[in-house]
């Protein structure tokens, strides 16, 4: 609840007798006006002044003496951190954390610009690694979501630079990201950070698979390990958020396979050797299931339907049918569970996935032998009918959940 | 600079710490000072390494291959290709055949022009005598008759105007400092008469 809502609607609540005037005032004191908040105009003004100073420095950068350049970098770095602490102390947390984040960015910029200043190119990763480590330290110190996000991005950039420019994968960076940020998230579960962490880890896993030139499907082993971590997390929303990106990746991959897999052109790069792949996936499945069972969420085991290795069927129709079966099994299970749990968001999600799968299935299975106009007509009717039926079911489910809430006094 | 704990704290949705955190406790503040100090020291360390390489290192000169004046990718640095960037495979002195990404030590000797040229490429640091110098690089590419190496000296950061000037002189002489601990950096770039 915000102070604004209290101010606008509070009087009406008093008139209706929901709360008394004294209670309204008590509530208002719970949400004090943020006295230290800086007005927008001074902020924009100082931003412009800062930008002009930055452009003057940037334009004359090469002409400045070495020590002046070094001094400017370090001065800006220290000023950002000191300013961040100053504003946090004044109670202006957003601005304070913004400045600390700026300090972290300036640290990275200082490393790069100082190396250039002394003509050191450095094909090693030490400087960039130091940047990621500093970000991790600041995240732990300030317990800030902004710094967590920034550190996840920095680690991803470091790994991307390393594989792209230096042609090597830094296991240190990957393990450091997983342990440093992963443990932080484990101790302070948070939905947004779960998504950020999973995204960052999947990015690095993707880079690793690409770097090792192994079959693409190996990607799902680290991805589902991230998923399994979500099963062990006690905080349910945070765990679900961590599981979103791996499931999204698996769904998109299967969808792509259903659409384009028949040519068997990519199929050669797809399939990891059957037995090692299934053994590894089975091990991760076991870890995941034990976690689900410990936390009493065995119902969500249906997520694993998406990992059914339908892609081992060889190209053409069998592959398309197998991947569609996987997609239908998954989106159907999402819908069924959403209706059982009376969860409106998941009903919507399940509906979208189901309709998407049906569109792909229709497109794949009928395009070849239906006249084009008939194809579009029937397809449109099918989708309209399906969405109507699903929406009706959703409305019924929601009515069932909404009723007890309204009947409460 | 004062880094004392905040005495009043407002909540912020994304940027802030968890709303209940009453600023940084004293122990964390000390950690923060250490962390910022470490960052400053790291940047200073990069500067000192660069400075010391030039001050304490041994100076050699290398010739570049012609700079491509039509290279569109110029900005704040010039791309340099040395005569020793591509070497014939006969210079390889390692026991096994060279592999990509492998470290390589190039033994250099001065020629009559004063510029240094490669006399051998080793997998381990070779022993030097007299005028010889060793430059550490990494193998980028191997083919039947030769190999391409990278030394970390391929970019020269200069202003746009200087970059454009150097680009017009096709051949350049690059002065390099090699520190006793193996690090190398460019200290000067001159144009060569053609």
- In-domain check, residue B165: yes
Which chain A residue shows the shortest CA-CA distance from B101? Answer: A167
**Identity of the residue in B7, B38, B49 whose CB atom sits nearest the CB atom of A89:** B7
CA angle A92, A98, A103 (to 5 degrees): 125
- In-domain check, residue B4: no
Q: Do A118 and B35 touch (CB under 8 A)?
A: no
Both B163 and B120 in one domain: the answer is yes
For residue A266, the model assigns a pLDDT of 63
Both B48 and B66 in one domain: the answer is no
Number of other residues whose CB lies within 10 A of the CB of residue A89: 20
Tokens of A59: 């334009």
Q: Do A142 and B24 touch (CB under 8 A)?
A: yes
* pLDDT tens-digit map of A146-171: 899 999 999 999 999 888 877 788 89
Q: Do A143 and B43 touch (CB under 8 A)?
A: no
Both B66 and B127 in one domain: the answer is yes
Looking at the complex, report in whole angstroms how far the Cα of residue B111 sits from the nearest Cα belonging to chain A: 26
Which chain A residue shows the shortest CA-CA distance from B12? Answer: A94
Under DSSP, the state recorded for A38 is P
Contacts of A87 (CB under 8 A, 6+ apart): A93, A95, A96, A99
- Interface A:B, Cβ pairs < 8 A: 155
Tokens of A146: 């902004």
Both B105 and B166 in one domain: the answer is yes
Both B104 and B181 in one domain: the answer is yes
Yes or no: say if B13 and A191 are a contact pair by the CB < 8 Å rule. no
* pLDDT tens-digit map of A333-390: 888 888 778 777 888 888 888 888 888 888 877 766 667 677 667 777 877 887 788 7
Max mean pLDDT among A191-205, A289-303, B86-100, B152-166 falls in A191-205
> Residue B147: phi, psi to the nearest 5?
-145, 155
Both B17 and B85 in one domain: the answer is no
Residue A251: pLDDT band (50, 70, 90) is: very high
- In-domain check, residue B149: yes
**Identity of the residue in B4, B162, B185 whose CB atom sits nearest the CB atom of A118:** B185
Looking at the complex, report in whole angstroms how far the Cα of residue B136 sits from the nearest Cα belonging to chain A: 12
**Identity of the residue in A98, A116, A120 whose CB atom sits nearest the CB atom of B49:** A120
Mean pLDDT of chain B, nearest integer:
78
Both B131 and B151 in one domain: the answer is yes
Both B89 and B169 in one domain: the answer is yes
- End-of-domain residue from the set B24, B39, B56: B56
For residue A196, the model assigns a pLDDT of 93
- In-domain check, residue B124: yes
For residue B67, the model assigns a pLDDT of 66
Both B97 and B185 in one domain: the answer is yes
Top residue of A37, A62, A70, A85 to mutate, by most chain B CBs within 10 Å, is A85
Top residue of A93, A115, A133 to mutate, by most chain B CBs within 10 Å, is A93
* pLDDT tens-digit map of A93-130: 888 888 899 999 999 888 888 888 888 766 567 888 89
* pLDDT tens-digit map of A225-248: 999 999 999 888 899 999 999 999
Residue A63: pLDDT band (50, 70, 90) is: confident
Q: Do A103 and B23 touch (CB under 8 A)?
A: no
- In-domain check, residue B5: no
Q: How many domains does chain B have?
A: 2
Q: Do B6 and A116 touch (CB under 8 A)?
A: no
Q: What ipTM was predicted for this assembly? A: 0.76
- In-domain check, residue B15: yes
Tracing tokens 């059914």 back to the chain, one arrives at A308
Q: Indicate if the alpha-carbon torsion angle A123, A128, A130, A132 is positive or negative.
A: negative
Both B110 and B31 in one domain: the answer is no
B46 lies in which domain range?
11-56
Question: How do the domains of chain A map onto residue ranges?
Answer: 214-398
Nearest C-alpha neighbor of A75 from the set A57, A51, A48: A57
Yes or no: say if B135 and B104 are a contact pair by the CB < 8 Å rule. no
Q: What is the dihedral of CA B22, B26, B27, B31, to 10 degrees?
A: 90
Report the C-alpha gap between A393 and A395 in whole angstroms: 5
Give the helix/strand (H/E) hosting A10.
helix A3-16
Which chain B residue shows the shortest CA-CA distance from A79? Answer: B1
**Identity of the residue in B2, B50, B153 whose CB atom sits nearest the CB atom of A118:** B50
**Identity of the residue in B28, B157, B159 whose CB atom sits nearest the CB atom of A119:** B157
Would residue A65 be called left, alpha or beta, if left means φ above 0 and alpha means ψ between -120 and 50 degrees?
A: beta
């Amino acid at each position: 609840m915000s102070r604004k809502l209290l101010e606008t609607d509070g009087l009406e609540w008093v008139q209706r007798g929901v709360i008394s005037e004294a209670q309204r005032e008590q509530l208002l004191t719970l949400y004090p006006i943020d006295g230290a908040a800086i007005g927008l105009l001074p902020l924009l003004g100082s931003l412009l002044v800062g930008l002009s100073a930055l452009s003057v420095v940037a334009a004359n950068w090469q002409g400045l003496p070495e020590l002046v350049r070094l001094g400017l970098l370090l001065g800006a770095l220290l000023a950002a951190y000191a300013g961040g602490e100053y504003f946090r102390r004044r109670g202006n947390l957003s601005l304070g954390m913004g400045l600390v984040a700026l300090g972290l960015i300036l640290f990275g910029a200082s490393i790069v610009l100082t190396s250039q200043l002394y003509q050191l190119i450095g094909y090693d990763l030490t400087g960039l690694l130091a940047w990621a480590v500093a970000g991790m330290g600041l995240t732990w110190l300030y317990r800030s979501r902004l710094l967590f996000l920034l550190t996840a991005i920095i680690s991803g950039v470091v790994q991307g630079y390393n594989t792209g420019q230096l042609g090597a994968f830094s296991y240190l960076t990957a393990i450091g990201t997983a342990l440093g940020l992963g443990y932080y998230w484990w101790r302070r579960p948070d939905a947004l950070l779960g998504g950020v962490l999973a995204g960052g880890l999947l990015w690095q896993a993707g880079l690793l698979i690409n770097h090792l030139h192994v079959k693409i499907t190996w990607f799902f082993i680290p991805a589902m390990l991230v998923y399994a971590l979500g099963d062990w997390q006690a905080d349910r929303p945070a765990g679900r958020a961590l599981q979103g990106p791996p499931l999204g990746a698996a769904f998109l991959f299967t969808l792509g396979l259903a659409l384009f897999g028949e040519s068997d052109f990519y199929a050669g790069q797809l399939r990891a050797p059957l037995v090692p792949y299934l053994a590894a996936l089975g091990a991760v499945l076991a870890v995941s299931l034990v976690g689900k069972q410990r936390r009493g969420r065995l119902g969500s085991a249906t997520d694993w339907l998406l990992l059914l290795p339908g892609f081992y069927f060889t190209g053409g129709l069998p592959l398309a049918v197998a991947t569609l079966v996987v997609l239908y099994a998954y989106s159907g299970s999402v819908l069924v569970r959403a209706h059982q749990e009376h969860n409106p968001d998941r009903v919507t999600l399940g509906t979208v996935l189901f309709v998407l799968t049906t569109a792909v299935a229709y497109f794949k299975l009928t395009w070849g032998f239906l006249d084009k106009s008939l194809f579009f007509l029937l397809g449109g009717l099918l989708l309209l009918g399906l969405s109507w039926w699903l929406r009706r079911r959703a409305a019924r489910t929601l009515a069932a959940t909404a009723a007890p809430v309204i009947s409460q006094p | 600079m004062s880094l004392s704990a905040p005495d009043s704290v407002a909540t912020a949705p994304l940027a802030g710490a968890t709303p209940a955190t009453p600023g940084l406790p004293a122990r964390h503040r000390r950690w923060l000072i250490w962390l910022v100090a470490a960052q400053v020291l790291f940047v200073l360390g990069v500067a000192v390494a660069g400075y010391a390489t030039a001050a304490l290192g041994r100076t050699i000169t290398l010739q570049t291959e012609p700079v491509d004046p039509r290279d569109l990718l110029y900005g704040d640095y010039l791309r340099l290709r040395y005569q020793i960037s591509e070497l014939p495979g006969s210079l390889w002195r390692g026991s096994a055949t060279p592999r990509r990404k492998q470290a390589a030590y190039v033994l250099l000797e001065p020629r009559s022009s004063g510029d240094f040229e490669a006399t051998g490429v080793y997998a381990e640091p070779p022993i030097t005598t007299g005028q010889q110098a060793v430059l550490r690089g990494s193998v980028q590419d191997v083919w039947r008759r030769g190999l391409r190496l990278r030394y970390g000296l391929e970019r020269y950061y200069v202003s746009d105007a200087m970059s454009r000037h150097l680009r017009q002189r096709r051949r350049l002489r690059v002065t390099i400092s090699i520190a006793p601990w193996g690090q190398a950096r460019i200290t000067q770039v001159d144009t060569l008469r053609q």
